[in-house]
Amino acid sequence: MPNLKDLKNRIASVKNTRKITKAMQMVAAAKLRRAQEAAEQSRPYTARFNAVLGGLAASVGGSDSAPKLLSGTGADQVHLLVVMTAERGLCGGFNSNISKLARAKAEELIAAGKTVKVLTVGKKGRDAIRRDLGQYFVGHVDLSEVKRLGYDNAQGIAQDILTRFDGGEFDVATIFYAKFVNVVSQIPTAQQIIPAAYEADEDAGASTLYDYEPSEEAILADLLPRGVATQIFSALLENAASEQGARMSAMDNATRNAGEMIDKLTIEFNRSRQAVITNELIEIISGAEAL
């Protein structure tokens, strides 16, 4: 028979845990509102910026004067994987799903004879991947002290990547993050950022003509680095919203599970207490009959 004191302590412990998970759920809900607004507000700008670059890229095409960020190095041997996750856990499968996608891509490239390099943004991604791909690590970006993500954070990451590209350290760069859909759905996404892959704006129409000053190549050379930073910033915002959505969902599940466990333990406690009382009554009755 379970000890009544132990059961009582377990019930109290689970109740305290439920209070914590409920509080974390409420905090995540408040943070999600701001993060979701930021992610959604950035999407039109990012889409339009990419469309403008797509139009310029289409006009330049494969000319010899095309910027290196657009045309690439001419090789496909060395790949830089930029894995963007959270600094904290307790957010369900958010971090592990991104890491799993990046790990699968790395294994695919390695099997194809490619050279892989890994740059991580966020402690959880670094910890998850280091076990299997630690020998491929080339750097880490720590955002643990950042309270609110800004474009400067994306620029710092972009500058690191661009410096490595200019130094000939890799041929292709791909970022991994989670695209926010809603509280229960965050889609792990891989997006190539170098060489830049932009689609022309279909709404512009085939008959629309533009005169560029200076040349299209010069404009692209100036805008493409900003495009890398813009894509990274958009990914950071999507990640921030996805993280809070996943944490809110995970803490809601944890709160409900704690409630179910409390109900089960309470039933067990009541049954055990009833059994103890029944035994005591039997002993009293037996003692009275003996007298």
Q: Which residues are catalytic?
A: 91
In residues, how long is the chain? Answer: 291
Amino acid at position 120, single letter: T
Q: Which of 211, 155, 170, 201 is closest to 73 using CA atoms?
A: 170
Strands (E), the chain: 78-84, 115-121, 137-141, 172-182, 185-194
| CA distances in angstroms from 114 to 109, 110, 187, 262, listed in the order given | 5, 5, 26, 53
Q: Which of 167, 184, 160, 166 is closest to 82 using CA atoms?
A: 160
Q: Which of 173, 139, 154, 127 is closest to 239 using CA atoms?
A: 154
| CA distances in angstroms from 222 to 52, 68, 126, listed in the order given | 13, 12, 32
d(CA 71, CA 134): 30
Q: Which of 186, 259, 244, 261 is closest to 24 using CA atoms?
A: 244
Whether the Cβ atoms of residue 193 and residue 228 lie closer than 8 Å to each other: yes
CB-count burial class (<10 Å; 0-12, 13-18, 19+) for 1: exposed
Amino acid at position 259, single letter: G
Q: Which of 86, 125, 122 is closest to 102 using CA atoms?
A: 125
Asked if omega into 195 is within 30° of 0 (cis), the reply is yes
